Copies of this chain bind each other. A is one copy, B any other.
Amino acid sequence: MMHKKHITIIGAGLVGSLLAAYLQQRGYQVDVYERRPDLRKASIRAGKSINLALSDRGWRALAQVGIEEQLRQLVIPMPGRMIHDKQGQLNFQPYGKTGQAINSVSRGGLNALLMDRAEELGARFHFEHKCTGVDFERTIAYLHHQDVSLEIHAELIFGADGAYSAVRQAMQKTDRYNYSQQYIPHGYKELSFPPTAKGDFALEKHALHIWPRKDFMLIALPNLDKSFTVTLFLPFEGEKSFANLNTPEAVETFFTREFPDARPLMPHLTDEFFENPTGSLVTIRSYPWVVGNTCLIGDAAHAIVPFYGQGMICGFEDCYVLNKLLDEHNDNWREVLPLFQQLRKPDADAIADLALDNFVEMRDKVADEQFLLRKKIEARLHELYPDQWIPLYSMVTFNPDIRYSEARKIGKQQDKIMQEVMAALQPGDDWQSLDFAAIVGRLQD
C-alpha cells in the first residue's frame, strides 16, 4: 500500500472545508488550521456576505462528498431575477429553462455542513490558529495560537485562506511572483428585510430581487428564516455614493427616492446602515499557485467580485478538478500540482472577467428593453438548438462541463453575432420571424 501523506490546510472556510472532505475521502490525514473560532459555536459576524448563490457547478463539486441531500434542506431555489423599477413595477426574468435555478444558501450554514462532513470523514480542525508565514523549501507553516508560536511540518500545505491569504502573502515575497489586486469603485453594505408581521417573506421568495439603477443597485436573496439578506452596491465616491450617505436623513432620502417599494420593508434601515461595515470589492490574480509543496486554492489564488455568483463555486470547482486529477494520476502530486494550476488559471481568469462584466449587466442592462429582447431571442435560440446555442449565463451557471474559459470564448462570439442581429432589427420587425437557423449557423463558422 502506498504511503498517504499528511496534509495541512490553512483556512476552514467553504473551500478549505470542502477540500478537507475530498482529501480525507481519498485516505489522507488532513489537519485544518483556522484563524477564527469555530463558527458552529460562535455566531457569525453580521454584515459580511452572509448568503450566497449556489448553482450547478457548485452542486457537482459538493455531490462528491455526499452532502447533497442535507444541502437540499438548506437552499431556496431562485429560478429568475425579479427586477424592481423606480415605480415599484416588477418584471420576472428566468435565468434559464424551466427547472433551472440558482439557490440562495447561508454561508454559515453551508460552511458548518462542510466542516461536519469533513470531521465525519476524519479531518481535524484547529480553530484560532493564525497562519503567520510559510517556509516553502521545508514545507513548514508558521502559526500563532493563544500567543504561542507553532511550526507545522507538513508534507503538503494548501492555502485556502481567502482573498487576504497569509499563505499567498508569503508567496508574494518569492522571486518573480505575479500578483495583482484591483478594486472596483463600488463598495457594498449588507441590510435586511425581516419577515412580515404575519411571519411571511416580505417578497416573492423564489427570485433574486434586483433594483437596478445604472451606476448602483440593491439586491435581495431569501433566507430560510423568511427574512431577506439585502445588499446595496454603490460607489464609494461621487454624487450618489457611500461618502454622501453620511447621515440617517441622507440614507432615508436616498432609499425612499431610489427604492420606494423596498424602503417600507426595512424597519431597521438606518441602524443597520451605520452599524454594518462598508465592504470593498476586489479582484485578485496571482501566479504561480504552487511553490514547492504548497498550493493556493479558492479565493487565496483568485478572488473575484460577486456579480456572477461564482466566487465560492469557482473554489469548489478547484477541489473537484484537483480530485479528478488525483484520480487520473494515481495521487502523484508531483504531476498533479503543476497540472492543477495550469488547468485552472485560465478558468479563474475567465470567471474573474465575466464577474466584472456581469456587474454592468445586473445594475444597468437588466432594465433595458433592447437587452430584454436580446435575452428573449437567445432563449429561443437555445430552445431551438439546445446544444449549439447556450446563452453565456447558462453556460456558466447550468453547464459545468463547459469550462469558464470556454464559456467566455463562446460568449464573445455570441455577443458579436447578437450585436449585429440587434442592429439589423428594424422598429416594427417581429423578432419571432428572425432566421434562427442562420444565426446559429454563424456561430459554427
Question: Does A183 touch B at the CB level, under 8 Å?
Answer: yes
What distance in Å separates the Cβ of A168 from its nearest Cβ neighbour in chain B? 13
Q: Does the CB pair A181–B183 fall under 8 Å?
A: no
> Which residues of chain B have C-beta atoms less than 8 A from A236's C-beta?
176
> Which residues of chain B have C-beta atoms less than 8 A from A282's C-beta?
176
Q: Which residues of A172-191 are within 8 A (CB) of B? A: 175-183
Q: When chains A and B are docked, how far (Å) is the Cα of A175 from the Cα of B237?
A: 14
Question: Does A280 touch B at the CB level, under 8 Å?
Answer: yes
Q: When chains A and B are docked, how far (Å) is the Cα of A416 from the Cα of B183?
A: 32
> Which residues of chain B have C-beta atoms less than 8 A from A179's C-beta?
179-181
Q: Does the CB pair A181–B182 fall under 8 Å?
A: no
A183 partner, pick from B178, B182, B183, B285, beta carbons under 8 A: B178
Q: Which residues of A214-240 are within 8 A (CB) of B? A: 236
Q: When chains A and B are docked, how far (Å) is the Cα of A179 from the Cα of B286?
A: 12
Q: Which residues of A346-362 are within 8 A (CB) of B? A: none
What distance in Å separates the Cβ of A20 from its nearest Cβ neighbour in chain B? 32
- Measured CB to CB, the nearest residue on chain B to A282 is B176
- Measured CB to CB, the nearest residue on chain B to A175 is B280
Q: Does the CB pair B175–A181 fall under 8 Å?
A: no
What distance in Å separates the Cβ of A370 from its nearest Cβ neighbour in chain B? 26
- Measured CB to CB, the nearest residue on chain B to A172 is B181
> Which residues of chain B have C-beta atoms less than 8 A from A177's C-beta?
181, 183
> Which residues of chain B have C-beta atoms less than 8 A from A183's C-beta?
176-178
> Which residues of chain B have C-beta atoms less than 8 A from A176's C-beta?
183, 236, 280, 282
Q: When chains A and B are docked, how far (Å) is the Cα of A180 from the Cα of B182?
A: 8
Q: Does the CB pair B181–A178 fall under 8 Å?
A: yes
Q: When chains A and B are docked, how far (Å) is the Cα of A71 from the Cα of B191?
A: 64
Chain A residues engaging chain B, CB cutoff 8 angstroms: 175-183, 236, 280, 282, 285
Sample of 15 further A-B pairs with CB below 8 A, known A178-B183, A180-B182: A175-B280, A176-B183, A176-B236, A176-B280, A176-B282, A177-B181, A177-B183, A178-B181, A178-B182, A179-B179, A179-B180, A179-B181, A180-B180, A180-B181, A180-B285
Interchain Cβ contacts under 8 Å between A and B, 13 examples: A175-B280, A176-B236, A176-B280, A176-B282, A177-B181, A177-B183, A178-B181, A178-B182, A178-B183, A179-B179, A179-B181, A180-B180, A180-B181
